[in-house]
Structure 1
Amino acid sequence: MKTARLLVLLLIGLLVMVGGTAAQDDPPPESAPVYDDVPIFTLDYGGVERAYGLYLPSTYDAGTPAPLILALHGRFGSAKALHALSGLAALAEARGALLVYPETYGVFWNDGGHDALERREEPSDDAGFIGAVVRAVQADYAVDADQLFLIGYDSGGVMSYRLACEGVADFAGVAAVSALMWDFLLEACPPEEEASAAPLIILHGWRDPLYPFGGGPIESFGGDLSPVLLPWRMSVGDTLSYWNRLNGCAADPTAESASGALYHDCESGADLAYVGLARGGHDWFHAGDAYQLNRHGIEAMDVIDSFFFERESFALPEETLTDDAPRSWLVYVPPSYDPAQPTPAVVALHGRPGSASGMAAITDLNRVADAEGFIAVYPDGLNNEWNSIGDLIGATEQYPQDDVTFLKRLMDDLSVDLNLDRSRLYVTGFSNGGFMTMRLACSAADTFAAFASVGATFYPWLHTVCRENAPAPILLMHGTDDVSIPFDGVFQRDAAGTLHQVSLDVPGTLDYFVLRSQCQPSGVRSEFPASGATPGVRVFRFDYLGCVDDADVTFYLIVGGGHNWPGVPGVIGEEIAGTVTMDINAGEEIWAFFERHTLN
């Protein structure tokens, strides 16, 4: 079938276009269990409106001072995400504690690493803001000043180290989950003789790719800096040694487990505990049969509760060992999230080599989630890539993971704590993540309602699974000047040096999905007005008509565009990204396509 190819190659040409497709009505929401929620408040600090969440336990009594727990979310996260996914509401109810979730201004805490990590945003006075939030809560509620606790997850854990060492408050307990120290904290914190001790518990997976057990430099940093200049992730041993010295603990632990250590009776009176998970990764650790992924038998919330409130009897937990590879992801829940209402979610898959946080930055999808009210999910591929065809080409040793099953199970696990609308789950992907998106369009249309692939083309091996399943709505987007995934398709050399084409070209990819959805040979072509920000680049959209079972096909052709996410400049290096058109925003266009489709 050559229709789609002609529509692309003759985009300026003589196409006969007719009316558009009709939007589907959303089905009525299904009944759902009760999920935890946290109201969001704002506070003007330094002339900037900042946000925080505040959860009051049902037993709160204004006449009885209550413990106050500060909880800091991770990269690209939010107060509502951490509250829902951590289970801390149960701790608050059990202890009658107030839970406060300050939010970043941007995506990173000012943990001392902005210069070292070349973050794109200016640092904020987060320590001052957090102090202002505590004072605001103390002004309105009865707070026990002797029971101020601090919890940080992911980058929130790094910020917790800084707040603790600086002694911004007399914390009764500090917990860092899936975070070790960076070397820049040694400069951000006061000199050791002046730094503050703090009762500290660290929960950490030995297979954490972001904070490896042995530490080390970050793997990529601009491409040309000397390794000695790279920011260094401190090892488990170095992180523990630092806090051992601050807390005045003995060299040998009071108690040990297979992968943990407890230092009690330290000179400062501040205990130190390390709970290691030998098979764990980067995660807020959960236990229980409700979850399918990362089952290690340790519930982070329970461990923190015991260390904070039952320290004299605290015992190191034992891990349930498993051979399953740990998986990781980031979740952003917008402030408009209402757990009483099923909420759509968009899963965004990074390229290769890439990461969840990289995809969040490349797409700026949190901003679209705020505007449109969906949850954004950023999973990590194993070894920074996705297995879209490994099982189809006999490469299971190189790609042993089943990413289709992983992403389906991830939706199940997130549904334990978030009221996801299971009829409105969507997948988008960029580059290697775009290839994986095409695989899911053929293998997971029973879970996801629509798909959008940016900067990727079709692997012919996928046909073996595509032909076995019904077509699904899909949006494709590609630039004609893409140097990473060329418009003419991907070519690779074999061991003998012979060049082979391993993916279809863009017109062939479009042909495949138009044929798969049995669309009519005519459709609607439109050109977007030029914004003036990217001269010489033109953006066309093709909407194909009459596709069976509402399996719509839409194609965005970026003439002069490179390997990038349209509308979000400055994240990918120019040598790869090429020209980033500002005439459209890919995230906004993709959501407009997604919201027309629901899973039957």
Structure 2
Amino acid sequence: MHELWRKGKLIMNVSRLWFLLFISVFSNMSLGGLQEKTLMVNDIPRHYLVYLPQTLSTKAPLIMVFHGYTGSASLIMNYSNMNDHADDNGFIVAYPQGTSDLDGNRFFNVGYSFHQQSEVDDILFVRLLVAQLIETFDIDPRSVFATGMSNGGEMAYLLACQASDLFAGIASVAGTMMDTWAIDCNPESLMPVLSIHGTHDEITWFGGDPEDSGGWGAYRSQQDIRNFWIQHNELDQSITTSLADLDPEDESLVRLMSYWSSGSDVQAKFYIVENGGHDWPGMRYDWWNPLYYLARYQMGFGRTRDIDSSKMITDFFVEVARRGRAESR
């Protein structure tokens, strides 16, 4: 096994410990409209959480939020604070939970090299789940969005490639596109995309891993991913902005690369966190919890405070919903 892969597994095992413990410290989250549900997929019970905003209108938009490798639906709900943003914007939020792999770690099947024998069909799971949620809660089928962290961010990209008929836009945080399916990615419609990624991410490398040195499988660089979506969405205008350094002590700066088209309403936004790690910038945490500092030291999780990822994502989706879903190509 590669040394970097062993390092990655060590980081994940340590982070899993604090993740499991970390869940208990978030006692102030919005739970008023939270439901825990199960959906049978190929005779396998698939679990998910769904949060209904305090003010729910008919034909509300839906955001699906996917957790990272070793994570859980409740974990990403807690640190992302998406429920509060749902209350502010009238979104319904669903948090699907992955299945457990042979190491006992929850995951979404995006084609990691050590999951090649897995028969878990997460695309089918999402298709069935979206259909059920639309029917149950009278969701606007033209305003369904996907986002996630790390493995969950990769799931968002995979859905953009293989289930573009379902989604009006996606956002990936610390995620990538695996070579095995990126090469055939051809969404049937234009796809608004937002990405947030740290240049010093030691789990999902900013420069990609074409030789599979890290053991996850070969995957694209952030520049390659950016170029792919610019070309696919036919974006011909751009501007790069340096965002305010709101927290000089976090040792990071954020650049926003925005792209749009003179011929459509489709946009793409890429937040590059200089010196950022494997992080959901602006995540919610309790400063007194030593486990937070362990995760920050191990992989930079929770370090960047210059932006609120969840607000950037929900604002992006709100704007896409306002403009209307892009038509098929």
Which of 364, 371, 381 is the equivalent residue of 2:98?
A: 381
Q: Is the partner of 1:470 in helix, strand or coil?
A: coil
Report the counterpart of residue 123 of structure 2 in structure 1: 404
Report the counterpart of residue 441 of structure 1 in structure 2: 160
Residues 109 and 115, structure 2, Cα contact 8 Å, conserved in 1: no
Give the Cα separation in 1 of the matches to 2:161 and 2:43: 25
Residues 177 and 219, structure 2, Cα contact 8 Å, conserved in 1: yes
Q: C-alpha displacement at 1:579, in angstroms?
A: 5.7
Report the counterpart of residue 230 of structure 2 in structure 1: 514
Q: Is the partner of 2:44 in helix, strand or coil?
A: coil
Report the counterpart of residue 585 of structure 1 in structure 2: 308
1:525 and 2:261 equivalent?
A: no
Q: How many residues align?
A: 284
Give the Cα separation in 1 of the matches to 2:244 and 2:313: 18
Residues 250 and 303, structure 2, Cα contact 8 Å, conserved in 1: no
Q: C-alpha displacement at 1:409, in angstroms?
A: 1.1
Letter in 2 for 1:387: N
Distance change in 2, residues 1:547/1:434 (3 Å)? farther
1:423 and 2:142 equivalent?
A: yes
Which of 283, 294, 299 is the equivalent residue of 2:40?
A: 294
Give the Cα separation in 2 of the matches to 1:356 and 1:343: 21
Distance change in 2, residues 1:343/1:437 (3 Å)? same
Give the Cα separation in 1 of the matches to 2:193 and 2:262: 11
Give the Cα separation in 1 of the matches to 2:216 and 2:129: 35
Select the structure of larger CA radius of gyration. 1
Report the counterpart of residue 504 of structure 1 in structure 2: 220
Higher relative contact order (CA 8 A, sep 6+): 2
Q: Is the partner of 2:175 in helix, strand or coil?
A: coil
* Cα deviation 1:441-468 (Å, max 9, x = unaligned): 1111211100001101222222344136
Report the counterpart of residue 327 of structure 1 in structure 2: 46
Which of 76, 81, 84 is the equivalent residue of 1:364?
A: 81
Q: Is the partner of 2:61 in helix, strand or coil?
A: strand
**What's the TM-score once normalised by structure 2's chain length?**
0.77
Report the counterpart of residue 258 of structure 2 in structure 1: 543
**What's the TM-score once normalised by structure 1's chain length?**
0.44
Distance change in 2, residues 1:118/1:456 (3 Å)? closer
Report the counterpart of residue 555 of structure 1 in structure 2: 270
Distance change in 2, residues 1:590/1:121 (3 Å)? closer
Q: C-alpha displacement at 1:553, in angstroms?
A: 1.7
Letter in 2 for 1:588: K
Superposed CA RMSD in Å reads 2.9
Residues 35 and 49, structure 2, Cα contact 8 Å, conserved in 1: no
Letter in 2 for 1:353: T
1:483 and 2:197 equivalent?
A: no
Aligned residues with identical type, % of pairs: 27
Residues 481 and 487, structure 1, Cα contact 8 Å, conserved in 2: yes
**Structure 2 residue runs without a partner (length 5+):** 1-20, 29-33, 101-105, 286-291
Give the Cα separation in 1 of the matches to 2:278 and 2:308: 14
Runs of 4+ in 1 over 6 A off after TM superposition: none
Report the counterpart of residue 295 of structure 2 in structure 1: 573
Give the Cα separation in 2 of the matches to 1:594 and 1:118: 27
Give the Cα separation in 2 of the matches to 1:511 and 1:493: 23
Residues 443 and 469, structure 1, Cα contact 8 Å, conserved in 2: no
Give the Cα separation in 1 of the matches to 2:216 and 2:304: 31
**Structure 1 residue runs without a partner (length 5+):** 1-115, 124-151, 155-282, 285-292, 296-322
Give the Cα separation in 2 of the matches to 1:543 and 1:493: 31
Residues 65 and 95, structure 2, Cα contact 8 Å, conserved in 1: yes
